A and B are shown apart, each in its own frame.
Chain A
């Protein structure tokens, strides 16, 4: 019984990080109606960021977070101008394919350089003991940092002028433009932020589990599940849904082989989309533009 409880609590900790990854997707979707298929590659970029900075250059593991955050932001803004800007406002097919092709290029480069072997990042943090069970320190730290970043994102979106501009563009791009908001810059900024969140979540995941260049796909799928659970374009919902998914994984792991988790998550994804088509309504709104 205590084992299951511990598994559930640990699921919450890991789920918070899934929520952080999903915030990246949901922010980009909410602002520009683009599904960012480079998300998985960017999570992997964050993983390798911490691996290289901490493993090769000897930067303390958690000190890499701001570096990864800034690096992700710069990469995201660059990506926006290269691959996304031209397809904004076109049918969803085009933005899907353009971000997908960037994903191919990045994953292709990654596999050419690192192959598909497992990597891991060594972190030594004392755990927290609860009876016979010990929560790994890395899980606690990752959840705490997720809370901090989530809070900062909230403050940015609701308390700063730029953040309010992001929300205005998300609400109605034309109207935002009419009142003098430089929408293009806001779009680039939001894309940068979304990618930065993906990179940071990748960095945190790398401290929890071993990873390969191809790990991004599984986490990307998880992010999409979380995003639709939490409602598209809703960062707070994404965090809550991430925790819910983590709970579900924690509940499922003692009872079934790990390889089934992805199937369950996918089924959940489709069921949620079909039964609660809030997301589908979102797409209709996009088409009506």
Chain B
């Protein structure tokens, strides 16, 4: 187990433990809700980062995985009576398979074309779901409160969902780390640098791209299932909210695309910033404006994000952090 000897493995473990334990002190529900959102952000940003940071493909519609996962899970539970864990896992697998199918089509497109097609995938799926009868069409699906019973009632269920989401977040960080230190990850990074050169050197680019697209769909879909189960309600505009997709890109870029720590750091900071903006009377309407301004500043002046700045200041940290 060389993994256990790497300091970064223990850093991830400490983060998960902090997330799991912090809100249990004094039953701090407010902190739990804030951390829950941070865990969702970290999950989405880490998985997006495998496309954006490693392979260099912008996925503007990454939220489609989250929303579809939510739909599969909520539908399996309400219509077929599946238990939560089975429904989320099935949702994750189904969305991953769908992503592979989409990926084989749209990943033949490069760079900017791919980015545009991902917006189209999200909008297309949203339009499909809006017109799809079995999933409630435009009105969506409501979950009956009875479904919370097997988890020990609504109050206990919220804690269970929180722990599960923290678990998913941990898996995302771990996956992000494992992929980066694998041969597969090296291939992706090579594609990100120069796809033609990578192909010439023997990286099976089409297969790797489809694989990472599908892989980056799995955990967000599970997170989506848990998230929408928690709300007991899902409808197309919430499930396929391009604004959330956008925020996730800002998060990945803010923390530092292509690093494992970056998206997590970015997610935490962004969640803090967002909380502050929402409560500030002056800025509550300007959340998008500030997110956009932040992204522009990063792209123009610090394309490496916060991790890029940190590495430049303390190059030795490269050996510990990923």
Contacts and interface: CB of A to CB of B under 8 A. Distances in A.
B7 interface: no
A266 B108 CA distance: 15
A50 to B, nearest CB: 24
A263 interface: yes
A96 B292 contact: no
Contacts of B194: 287
A86 B298 CA distance: 12
B78 interface: no
Contacts of B131: 257, 259-260
A33 B44 CA distance: 30
B246 A104 contact: yes
B253 interface: yes
Contacts of B56: 91, 93
Contact of A92 (B112, B127, B293): B112
A252 interface: no
B115 interface: yes
A35 B293 contact: no
Q: Which of B116, B119, B290 has the most CB of A within 10 A?
A: B116
B311 interface: no
Contacts of A283: 110-113
A94 B303 contact: yes
Contacts of A9: none
Contacts of B291: 104, 108
Interface in B266-322: 285-296, 299-300, 303
B117 interface: yes
Interface in A84-117: 86-87, 91-94, 96-98, 100-109, 111-112
B116 A101 contact: no
Interface residues of B, number: 47
A109 B289 contact: yes
Interface string A16-45: 000000000000000000010000000000
Interface stretch (A161-169, A200-208, A240-248, A267-275): A267-275
A181 interface: no
A217 B246 CA distance: 14
B178 interface: no
B301 to A, nearest CB: 9
B10 interface: no
B238 interface: no
Q: Which of B56, B111, B293, B294 has the most CB of A within 10 A?
A: B111
Nearest to A86: B300
A280 interface: yes
B299 A101 contact: yes
Given A93-B56, A108-B287, A270 B296 contact: no
Q: Is the interface of A mostly helix, strand, loop or mixed?
A: helix
A244 B194 CA distance: 36
B296 A35 contact: no
A87 B296 CA distance: 11
B289 A104 contact: yes
A67 interface: no
Interface in B89-108: 105-106, 108
Contact of B110 (A263, A267, A280): A280
Contacts of A269: 116-117, 120
B260 interface: no
A274 B105 contact: yes
A266 B300 contact: no
A127 interface: no
A270 B299 contact: no
A277 interface: yes
Interface of A: 35, 83, 86-87, 91-94, 96-98, 100-109, 111-112, 217, 221, 224, 228, 257, 259-260, 262-263, 266-267, 269-270, 273-274, 277, 279-280, 283-284, 287
Sorted nearest first, the 4 A-B pairs with minimum C-beta distance are: A104-B292, A108-B288, A108-B289, A101-B295
Given A96-B115, A112-B285, 11 more contacts: A93-B111, A100-B246, A101-B296, A104-B295, A106-B292, A108-B288, A108-B292, A221-B119, A257-B131, A262-B123, A284-B110
Interface of B: 52, 56, 58, 60, 105-106, 108-113, 115-117, 119-121, 123-124, 127-128, 130-131, 194-196, 242, 246, 249-250, 253, 285-296, 299-300, 303
21 contacts: A91-B111, A100-B295, A101-B296, A103-B292, A104-B246, A104-B292, A105-B292, A106-B292, A109-B286, A112-B285, A217-B119, A262-B123, A262-B124, A269-B117, A274-B108, A274-B109, A279-B113, A280-B109, A283-B112, A284-B196, A287-B196
